[in-house]
Amino acid sequence: MQSDFTIKMPAFSIPYSNMYLSDSLRLNTFQAEAYNIINNKKDLVLVAPTGSGKTLILLLNNIPGQEKIRGFVSLYPNNTLLINQMRTVEEILIEHLEAKEVERVTTGCDNEGNKTEICNEEIVPLKIYKINREKAKGPWSDTEYAAIMALSGKYIKPTSEETKSDVVYRLVEKLYEYSRKKNLYVIVFATPDTYLLVSTGAYRNFELVGKTLHNILVALVNEKGIDELDNILRRTNVLTRDQVSKSLSVYHQLLNQLPLFIDEFHLYSPFELSALYVIIKIYKSMSDLPIVFSSATPAKKIIDELRDAGINPEMLNAEIIHGADGFQVKGDSVIEVIGVDTGKKGLPAYYEAAEKVPGIVTEDLFDEVKEIDKYKDGRALIILERLWMVTRLAEELSKKGIRPDCIASIVPSKTCVKGSNVIVGSEATTQGVNLGKIVWGITAGVSSEDVIQRIGRFGRKGVSSKIYLVLPKNVLEKNLPKSTMNYYELTEWLSKVYLDYPKRKKDVSNIIPSEFYNVRKKLIHAYALSSMVRVSGMKGLGEIDLKKEEALKLLNSFIGDSRALVNLLVFRRTGFSVEFIDIKYGEQGEASIGLIARNFKVLAYKGGKLEIDLSQSERQELVLSLNKEPRNFVNKFIDIRTLLKLLKGSLKIGDSLMLDEKSVGEGLVYVVDAGEDLAEYLSYTGEGARIIYTGSSEIRYAIMFI
Cβ count within 10 A of residue 346: 10
- 263 and 83 Cβ atoms separated by less than 8 Å: no
* Per-residue pLDDT at 109 exceeds 80: no
CA distance 262 to 259: 10
* In the chain, where the domains are located: 5-9+324-498, 78-190, 577-705
Q: Which of 140-144, 240-244, 427-431, 641-645 comes out lowest in average pLDDT?
A: 427-431
Q: Which residue has the higher pLDDT, 14 or 325?
A: 14
CA distance 310 to 280: 7
What is the rounded average pLDDT of the residues 391-407?
Answer: 93
The pLDDT assigned to 295 comes to: 87
The residue among 87, 41, 84 whose CA lies nearest residue 61 is 41
CA distance 392 to 365: 16
What is the rounded average pLDDT of the residues 344-357?
Answer: 88
CA distance 457 to 495: 18
Task: Give the chain's length.
Answer: 706
CA distance 291 to 34: 11
pLDDT tens-digit map of 269-309: 788 888 999 999 999 988 999 999 998 877 788 899 899 99
DSSP letter (8 states) at residue 391: H
* Ramachandran sector of residue 542 (left: φ over 0; alpha: ψ -120 to 50; beta: rest): left
* Per-residue pLDDT at 321 exceeds 70: yes
The pLDDT assigned to 196 comes to: 92
* Per-residue pLDDT at 226 exceeds 90: no
User: Rounded to the nearest 5°, which phi and psi values hold at 380?
Assistant: -100, 145
CA distance 310 to 628: 47
- 626 and 649 Cβ atoms separated by less than 8 Å: yes
Dihedral (CA of 213, 214, 218, 221) sign: positive
Confidence of residue 261 (pLDDT cuts 50, 70, 90): very high
3-class state of residue 418 by DSSP: coil
The pLDDT assigned to 542 comes to: 59
Burial of 356-371, coded b for 16+ CB within 10 Å and e otherwise, reads ebbebbbeebeeebee
Q: Which residue has the higher pLDDT, 345 or 290?
A: 290
Confidence of residue 446 (pLDDT cuts 50, 70, 90): confident
The residue among 364, 352, 349 whose CA lies nearest residue 474 is 349
Angle between the N-to-C axes of helices 501-509 and 676-685, in degrees from 0 to 180, rounded to the nearest 10: 110
Question: Regarding the domain delimited by 5-9+324-498, which CATH topology (the fold level of the hierarchy) does it fall under?
Answer: Rossmann fold (3.40.50)
pLDDT tens-digit map of 23-61: 999 999 999 999 999 999 999 999 998 888 999 999 999
Confidence of residue 227 (pLDDT cuts 50, 70, 90): confident
3-class state of residue 679 by DSSP: helix
Strand order through the sheet with 622-626: 558-559, 637-639, 668-673, 701-705, 688-693, 622-626, 650-653, 657-659
What is the rounded average pLDDT of the residues 612-628?
Answer: 85
- Say what percent of the chain tops pLDDT 90: 45
pLDDT tens-digit map of 117-131: 445 456 789 999 999
What is the rounded average pLDDT of the residues 617-622?
Answer: 76
Q: Which of 108-122, 475-489, 510-524, 684-698 comes out lowest in average pLDDT?
A: 108-122
Report the number of secondary-structure helices (H) and strands (E) in the chain.
22, 33
- 428 and 82 Cβ atoms separated by less than 8 Å: no
* Per-residue pLDDT at 460 exceeds 90: no
CA distance 533 to 245: 11
* Per-residue pLDDT at 328 exceeds 70: yes
pLDDT tens-digit map of 640-683: 999 999 999 999 887 767 888 888 877 889 999 878 877 877 88
Average model confidence (pLDDT) across the chain: 87
Confidence of residue 313 (pLDDT cuts 50, 70, 90): very high
Confidence of residue 462 (pLDDT cuts 50, 70, 90): confident
The pLDDT assigned to 117 comes to: 42
Confidence of residue 165 (pLDDT cuts 50, 70, 90): confident
Strand order through the sheet with 601-606: 588-592, 577-582, 609-613, 601-606
pLDDT tens-digit map of 403-441: 999 988 888 878 899 889 999 998 878 765 678 899 999
pLDDT tens-digit map of 368-390: 999 997 877 899 999 998 888 99
